[in-house]
Amino acid sequence: MPFVNVGRENSGNVDLYYEDHGNGSPVILIHGYPLNGASWEKQIPVLLEAGCRVITYDRRGFGQSSKPTTGYDYDTFAQDLHRLIGQLDLKQFALVGFSMGGGEVARYIGNYGTKGVTKAVFAGGVPPYLLKAPDNPEGVDKSVFDGIQKAISADRYSWFTDFFKNFYNADVYLGSRISEQAIQASWNVAASASPTASYACVSTWGTDFRKDLAKVNVPTLVIHGDADRIVPFSASGARTAKMIPGAKLVVVKNGPHNIAWTHPDEVNPALVSFLKEEKKLVAAPA
């Protein structure tokens, strides 16, 4: 299995598991919390068929990657991504981030610029800024994040069960767009994650990405479900699309948080069409 070393913790390496398939223009798919790279299974074959080279990886603390007790912040996540890109010697690549993965896309560009980045995709992404603050009244009160961490600390397995009901809007789509078995599979992946990562990542959801988004000057797609109960569209996708000049916005009607699973019939064509469009640079705001 392929791994990239991104650091050390005491006597052990911190390694990220990744998969690299196909030929053509590279597309890096960055998963959401609390899943792993395999969660893109409804997009990978479609992208491969479209002639893309598809790269997925497991964020530190999740999937088959190392599970250190440090490094759960977006500067480190972006650095991990940067090291993966360096190991694979990628020169031109698209970044596609779902949920927390949208934060990686934003912070990577914020810290490393857009050299080599051909396109950016935010799917149900956490940018621009989910935490309520004096200059961000649209955000969520910090007590909500504190309550989530308290529930995770008490019994993360039980909390994951309720979380995934809203992750997929199971009361609406169970038996039609998602099965009990698929939800259970997601729960199994979450249960295998590091307890430290499960807890610590919640704090990162309130990261301020507004300065990062100001540096995005590549063609950008924002795709979001308007019934997202985890990362509300009005607080995230709608604002991100307005902040990035020329960004294309696709709203999936009645779509939950993980539209990549429940609505691939809408997500996949939009994603492939965007990635195949001729690149047109967009000027970043002054």
Which residues belong to the active site? 99, 228, 257
How many other CB atoms are there within 10 angstroms of residue 58's CB atom? 24
* Cα dihedral across residues 82, 87, 92, 98: positive or negative: negative
- Residue 26 has a CB neighbour count (10 Å cut-off) of 21
The CA distance from 148 to 150, in Å, is 5
Q: Are 233 and 224 in contact (CB under 8 A)?
A: yes
